[in-house]
Structure 1
Amino acid sequence: MVKRRMYLLFLGVLSICSSYAQEQPGFTIIPLNNLDAFTNAGGNWSVASDAVADINKEGDLKPVAGTGVLVNIVSKKNREHLVTKESFGDVELELDFMMAKGANSGIYLQGRYEVQLFDSWTTLHPTFSDCGGVYERWDNGKNTGFEGYAPLVNVARAPGLWQHLKIQFRAPRFNDKGIKTESARFEAVYLNGVPVQQQIALTGPTRSPLFEDERAAGPLMIQGDHGNVAIRNIKYRALSGDNSTPEKVSMVNPILIDPAAKPYLLRSFLSYNNKMITHAISVGNPNQVNYSYDLKRGALLQVWRGRFADATDLWYSRGEPYQRIVPLGSVITLSDAPSLAMLPDVVNTAWPDSVSFDEVQTKGYTLDAARAPSYRYSIYDVNVTDKIITSGSSGLVRELTVANPSAHLYHRVAAAKKIAQIKKGIYAVDDKSYYLFIDEKLKPFIRQAGAVQELLLPVDKAGATIHYSLTW
């Protein structure tokens, strides 16, 4: 049964998911063309231009020659932490990171207070030791941990994908006698654009710190002894009143929807790329793999992991004026262009960014025994069935069947600035934001289309099903 829960608290802030992507003034970038910003970097740390990881192979992470990315490859001999020469007090810190399968690392503010980095992909009920958690403290006398804080929601992505971390940290306060008057705290922690911690007081250093004492300033430490990880785009600025507190949602009692035991289908308007989609359907799943679909274009609009939807704008005061839902997880934006198009010249014919309202005839959808929908429509006089199901907790499987394909008909799987084939049948899309798994028998190919690349599949067999998966 679906639970509709109404909150006054911080969970309403989960709808604010994109602020980290906006460039903000005042940041200082830590250069990563060498290791000069760090003290006595161990042999496990190197500089690269990128990193690649096998999603299925434990610990696999390989550097790509160049500069701009820190890569940690742990061995029995080399397993040192990376510590900055500069010290920080109140600070806002941002960085990107990539985890190897099964990897464990952490970001220690002042070398003392850890935000956990971990391969927590597909974990439904995270603990303090999962990605975005504030790690526990440790009592040596009792040989037990305490004061660990789990992330509010797990929005960690798959091994080998780039993820984003933003931390707002307030240093401890001391009086003129050196006595601590205020504990350190994490004002907020955002993982992949979603707030996962807020106002977490730290009564002392978390487990395995660089220093056991507390001070007003200290270096940044990246844990290097537990697993293979890559880091890039490290930047920081002083934390002030203007940037220390997440924006509050002004609404009272937001209406939040979480599927409990079976998928939940919700028709609504949808704000998308500064326009309103009027024929959208969003599907939430108990495994926290969710998506939105445009019924008038057959377009898979967006996917996200985490909680499902804020429906306040849809139902409060009869839905006026917006009649929309807002995703609550870490959203990956795909495309609102039609999924099928006829390209007489596959090299030079542009993919249409829209289709006339009368050219698509929506024929509704059917549900299978697990309530997975199959959308039916016709476009260009071609009959289409588009079934989207979850693949465990790893992502989505799309099964597109065209009953009577026309000549020169193609399906666009993805469009992005960069689409890279990382191995046979596996593509990394949009600077390693998500993966596509496609059988080579479907003859996928990448073409350059202006400033973007497009991954296309020919649709030339009547009744054949195009089957591929999207993983993030």
Structure 2
Amino acid sequence: MFFMKVRLSLNARFQGRRPLTVPPPTWRLALLALSLCSFLGLQAQTPQAGYTAIPLTDLSAFQSTAGNWTVVGSVTTHPKKAGQFTTTSGTGILVNQPTDKAKANIMTKQEFGDVDLSLDYMMAEGSNSGVYLMGRYEIQLLDSWGKPNMTYQDNGAIYARWDEATQHGYEGHAPGINVSRAPGLWQHLEISFQAPRFEGGKKVANARILSLSLNGTVLHENVELTGPTRGPAFPEEAATGPLFIQGDHGAVAFRNLAYKAFTQDKIALSNLKYRLYEGAFQKPEELSSKAASQEGTLNELTWRGASGANEYAYQITGTMQIPAAGQYIFELNTGTRNQMMIGNKRIPDGTPVQLQAGAQQFEILTLKDFSWQGQQLGLMVSGPGMRRQPLHASGSMPLNDPTSPILLPVQGEPKVFRSFIDFKQDATTPERRIPHAISVGDPSGVHYTFDADNGALVQVWRGEFLDATPMWNSRGDGSADPMGSILPLNDAPALAVLTTTNAEWPTTEPEGTYRMRGYKLDAQGYPTFRYTIHGLNVQDRIVPAEGGKKLVREIRLENPASTGLYFRVANGTGIAKQRDGAYTINDQQYKVKLLEGPTPTVRNGNELVVPMAQMRAGQALRYEIIW
């Protein structure tokens, strides 16, 4: 079956989705495609596809160390001792609790070169640690929660090198945005690292951080590391090295440690030939009775054999040297109809295919049947131990025409902005578009989205406010994208009448149950939303607190509540009450704490609800969201 693709712009796998974060002035970081799935699935204990877990059933994966490192089953911040954890017995979490007598670092037995690393970590209050790639290049871990100005010494930074002569650091790379979570909450780190290259014992290429994302936000991309950062385990560089974690600066915990190791193998192409058939073709079969108008050889994989033609079929054949047997994924992009064959087998785009090592004959066919379509040919491949890499020539896959981003900053006072918002609650739910979203940005850098169709607090995030490029560029689609580290909450009604205590929470309200009555701005510019639900008039106010570390939500009912009315403060897995009265949600992804109102209860194991029938008219329900 012929595989059809029609693209007017670059495929998302080649250029990337719309940015999840665009921190000026480094907005171009967003060209890196970034999936939310790894962050939204933070609590998952199984490694991502293609990753190998570092076992945390005991310390056998690590070289011998001191007693500050142990394996436990759970960890929370200590309610009375700042900077320390409370743990329970079990497995799955590597925790460091240094003392004056035991404050050693820890190092894996296994060594790595080129590697993708994925892990979750938790900082105690005021704590400091670091992950050294190959034992030499440090990614800083620090309790930087709520800090306004970031340096190379802060969370998610690439730490500086050190000059002993001047006693100064240099070549440190600070995060362009602070996306740190609060102490006691899990954070997710992903790193793509390329080791230095050596030939004949001499270094010929420096190490690189190809990309680094923290809590779903790209912080660094293609950063060259000219040498080890300060405090390495090994002063001299090498082709491989262990994973090294600092243990002498404070309490820190890790889980879901996983890696994908890469070789330096590449697929070589040879014997490249092309045939050009001029005309508008719809199917490959139409070429059987046609003679090529032009043919020749190519030095590299490119569309340029079709230069000068407007409508054509362009066929490339050649030999592909597969370095090792295994599953490979090919991604072909021509902006037109296309197909790829290896031997006599059609290769589905983006789908794993099993190949044997050695020479394989291949064919690429592209049909350009509209003169206005651009000319491009890109072929990406990944395979066993092989990083995703291009097989096409430089310049054969041009970027889209550059578009200047249309960013909405927040300066001086809050900003209220209405748009469509695309929302995905977790890794298992499909993305959906919220048509009547109201996003509120704050100068402190903490923002949220409110759904005017049901009164839901949909999401909160830290960073810049909104990217309105998809709304206002060209014809636009009415949507805007948050620019920062997003904490998705939910898009179900916050208030609901339940017929029984175990009734399922509604995802929507019956027609006529809810009516938005607008919002009113206070003297500082913060909105109070007003809506009617189940005959109750509600005032809903959401404001930042403590310099943007938290959001406080206040709900007031203007008339008495009916029996069976509940307010859902949060929903998610692993809801647990802490000793300070706060509740951790989604396995310590964020916290909520009730400040005023009736006592909440955990319902059905995954919902924190407040019985509103206990409230008097005018009484407030107030709670804070901490992340």
Q: TM-score, length-normalised on structure 1?
A: 0.93
Q: Which residue of 2 aligns with 1:435?
A: 591
1:341: Cα distance to partner? 0.9
1:23-422 paired onto structure 2 within 5 Å: 24-54=48-78, 58-176=82-200, 178-239=201-262, 242=382, 243=387, 252-273=403-424, 274-319=431-476, 322-346=477-501, 348-391=502-545, 392-404=547-559, 405-422=561-578
1:62: Cα distance to partner? 2.0
Change in Cα spacing, 1:234 to 1:439, as seen in structure 2 (3 Å) is same
1:123: Cα distance to partner? 1.1
> Which residues of structure 2 form unaligned runs of 5+?
1-21, 42-46, 264-380, 390-397, 425-430
Q: Which residue of 1 aligns with 2:611?
A: 458
| Secondary structure of residue in 2 paired with 1:220 | strand
Q: Hey, what's the Cα distance between the residues in 2 that align with 1:302 and 1:185?
A: 34
Deviation larger for 190-199 or 351-360: 351-360
Q: Match of 2:180, as an amino acid?
A: A
Q: Hey, what's the Cα distance between the residues in 1 that align with 2:95 and 2:609?
A: 33
Q: Which residue of 1 aligns with 2:622?
A: 467
Q: Match of 1:328, as an amino acid?
A: M
Quick check: 1:14–1:328 contact (8 Å CA) kept in 2?
no
Q: Hey, what's the Cα distance between the residues in 2 that align with 1:309 and 1:440?
A: 32
Change in Cα spacing, 1:8 to 1:204, as seen in structure 2 (3 Å) is closer
The higher relative CO (CA closer than 8 Å, separation ≥ 6) is in 1
Q: Match of 1:97, as an amino acid?
A: Y
1:174: Cα distance to partner? 1.2
Report which of the two structures shows the higher radius of gyration computed on alpha carbons: 2
1:390: Cα distance to partner? 0.4
1:95: Cα distance to partner? 0.4
Quick check: 2:23–2:463 contact (8 Å CA) kept in 1?
no
Q: Match of 2:606, as an amino acid?
A: Q
Considering only aligned residues, what root-mean-square deviation do their CA atoms show, in Å?
2.2
Q: Match of 1:272, as an amino acid?
A: F
> Which residues of structure 1 form unaligned runs of 5+?
none
Change in Cα spacing, 1:24 to 1:421, as seen in structure 2 (3 Å) is closer
1:387: Cα distance to partner? 0.3
Deviation larger for 376-385 or 304-313: 304-313
Deviation larger for 136-145 or 53-62: 53-62
Deviations 1:253-273 (A, max 9, x none): 222222122211110011123
Deviation larger for 405-414 or 205-214: 405-414
| Secondary structure of residue in 2 paired with 1:423 | coil
1:358: Cα distance to partner? 3.0
Quick check: 1:5–1:255 contact (8 Å CA) kept in 2?
no
Quick check: 2:23–2:483 contact (8 Å CA) kept in 1?
no
1:57: Cα distance to partner? 5.2
Q: Hey, what's the Cα distance between the residues in 2 that align with 1:380 and 1:440?
A: 23
Q: Which residue of 1 aligns with 2:274?
A: none
Deviations 1:331-377 (A, max 9, x none): 1111111111112322x222111013532211100111221110001
Aligned residue-pair number: 460
Deviations 1:392-447 (A, max 9, x none): 22120000001112222111101112210012421000010111111475211111
Q: Hey, what's the Cα distance between the residues in 1 that align with 2:27 and 2:446?
A: 24
Q: Match of 2:465, as an amino acid?
A: F
Q: Percent identity?
A: 43
| Secondary structure of residue in 2 paired with 1:157 | coil
Q: Match of 2:224, as an amino acid?
A: A
Change in Cα spacing, 1:232 to 1:249, as seen in structure 2 (3 Å) is farther
| Secondary structure of residue in 2 paired with 1:20 | helix
Q: Hey, what's the Cα distance between the residues in 2 that align with 1:186 and 1:19?
A: 21
| Secondary structure of residue in 1 paired with 2:516 | strand
1:423 to 574, 579, 582: 579
Deviation larger for 275-284 or 351-360: 351-360
Q: Match of 1:315, as an amino acid?
A: W
Q: Match of 1:82, as an amino acid?
A: I
Q: Match of 1:312, as an amino acid?
A: T
Quick check: 2:26–2:176 contact (8 Å CA) kept in 1?
no
Deviations 1:296-322 (A, max 9, x none): 100000111122221111111242xx3
| Secondary structure of residue in 1 paired with 2:583 | strand
Change in Cα spacing, 1:328 to 1:386, as seen in structure 2 (3 Å) is same
Q: TM-score, length-normalised on structure 2?
A: 0.70
Q: Hey, what's the Cα distance between the residues in 2 that align with 1:59 and 1:8?
A: 34
Quick check: 2:29–2:220 contact (8 Å CA) kept in 1?
no
